[in-house]
Amino acid sequence: MAAPVIATVLTLVVGSLLFATLGYDPLVTLQAFFIAPLNSLNGLSEWLLKASPLILIACGLAVGFRANVWNIGAEGQLIVGAIAACGVGLFYPNPESPILLPLMFLAGACGGMAWAAIPAFLRARMNTNEILVTLMLTYIATLLLSWLVHGPWRDPAGFNYPQTALLSAAAMFEPFDYAYRLNASVFITVVAVFLMWLFTDRSFLGYKMSVSGAAPLAARYAGFRESSAVWIGLLAGGAAAGVAGMAEVAGPLGQLSPQISPGYGFAAIIVAFIGRLNAFGIVLGGLLMSLLFLGGEAVQMNLGLSAALTRIFQGILLFFLLAADFFIFYRLRRIPEHA
């Protein structure tokens, strides 16, 4: 557990130097970055609201990553999940039905899984590279969303803005308090974290996946099918991302627009690795990542730091975290010339 401490100290030192040379008081800046955003109930609500999809998606992705199945396209799966869920929410005949939300949940999960099933099929059958396929499908999903909100699904009463009609109340998660945006969808994440722990740490299926990841020849020796690791790995990530997309649409957004995710699908990859692909670590990683998002916005608004500067600072922290991990497991040595 030394790595996060070392990384935090290094980030604070380097960050302070950076802020000081640019003429900002480091203490004030760091306070505005890390403490001020959490000083209010609203801040806490926003913190959890942003951490929730990150953790949810990272849990799904980590299932695949542990088996060396590299799903880089969670962003696309999130979008397709959101489209499917919103479609159900908009076009279900009875907009007041109590089963509408559960249906949207299923639609979101299925949408994400369907999008992830394409690279899974291609990898299992034709051995294509899932990194490329999942990534490219993300751009297709973005354009599909753009076409829908500019075209067939555009709200007729929306003054030509590229967005769908608002979802009915029955199609949305109710906030805990209408003053804040946090809603019951965080419980989905809590359940997902538990399921992820159960799957990777305790289940036989999760065991088979870890064998596939750590020693593919041993998996073949034991007769574990490689294709099932590919399918499970990709579908888990797809389902988690799709549900996260549904929770965004049925939560803070309430409708589809061309930009529905601030990059949750990509940030979740980092969260998964900060958390070392482990359920508990992912929770911490997601909370940290979410705080970085919030703090970055806060210092831009309150202190007038540039967006680039805040992103540099975020990058420094992540860089030190992953580098500290690396140097704990490996040691640099000089190799003599004559060797």
Partner 1 sequence: MPPRLELRNITKSYPGIVANDDISMSIMPGEIHAVLGENGAGKSTLMKIIYGAAQADSGEIYCDGKPIAAHTPATSRALGIEMVYQHFALFESVTVVENIALAVSNTFDLDALARQITELSNRYGMPIDPHRRVHDLSVGERQRVEIVRCLLQAPKLLILDEPTSVLTPQAVVKLFETLRQLASEGCSIVYISHKLDEVQELCDTATVLRNGKVTGTARPKQSTSLELARMMVGAELPEMHVSPSVPSEKPVLEVRGLTAPARDKYGVELKNVSFEVRGGEIVGLAGVSGNGQAELISLLSGERTHGNALSIQIDGRAAAHLNASERRKLGMAFVPEERLGRGAVPPHALWQNAVLTAHRTGLVRNGLVDRKGANSFAAKIIERFKVKANGPQASAQSLSGGNLQKFIVGREIALQPKLFLVAQPTWGVDVGAAAFIRQTLVDLSRSGAAVLVISEELDELFEICDRLLVICQGQVSPPLIRTKTNREEIGLLMTKVDRGNGTNGRGEVAVQD
In the complex, which residues of this chain contact partner 1 (CB under 8 A)?
Answer: 198, 202-205, 207, 210-211, 214-215, 217-218, 220-225, 335-336, 338-339
CB of 220 to partner 1, least distance (A): 5
| Of residues 89 and 213, the one with the C-beta less far from partner 1 | 213
| Of residues 169 and 215, the one with the C-beta less far from partner 1 | 215
| Of residues 204 and 330, the one with the C-beta less far from partner 1 | 204
Q: What is the DSSP string of 241-284?
A: HHHHHHHHIIIII-S--S---SSHHHHHHHHHHHTTT-HHHHHH
Distance CA 258, CA 226 (A): 37
CB of 222 to partner 1, least distance (A): 5
**Residue 187 in contact with residue 109, Cβ under 8 Å?**
no
| Of residues 230 and 253, the one with the C-beta less far from partner 1 | 230
Token pair for residue 290?
């979410």
Token pair for residue 293?
């998002």
What's the burial of 191, exposed, middle or buried (CB within 10 Å: 0-12/13-18/19+)?
Answer: exposed
**Residue 115 in contact with residue 141, Cβ under 8 Å?**
yes
CB of 58 to partner 1, least distance (A): 22
Q: For 22, how many CA atoms within 13 A lie in the half-sphere containing its CB?
A: 18
Residues 300-313: b if buried by 16+ CB within 10 A, e if exposed: eeebebeeebbeeb
CB of 242 to partner 1, least distance (A): 24
Token pair for residue 3?
């790595």
| Of residues 217 and 308, the one with the C-beta less far from partner 1 | 217
Distance CA 219, CA 160 (A): 55
| Of residues 55 and 124, the one with the C-beta less far from partner 1 | 124
**Residue 36 in contact with residue 302, Cβ under 8 Å?**
yes
| Of residues 211 and 289, the one with the C-beta less far from partner 1 | 211
CB of 338 to partner 1, least distance (A): 6
CB of 182 to partner 1, least distance (A): 33
CB of 271 to partner 1, least distance (A): 23
| Of residues 152 and 223, the one with the C-beta less far from partner 1 | 223
| Of residues 26 and 216, the one with the C-beta less far from partner 1 | 216
Q: For 303, how many CA atoms within 13 A lie in the half-sphere containing its CB?
A: 24
**Residue 99 in contact with residue 73, Cβ under 8 Å?**
no
**Residue 264 in contact with residue 54, Cβ under 8 Å?**
yes
CB of 66 to partner 1, least distance (A): 12
How many degrees, rounded to 5, is the angle at CA 287 between CA 281 and CA 291? Answer: 145
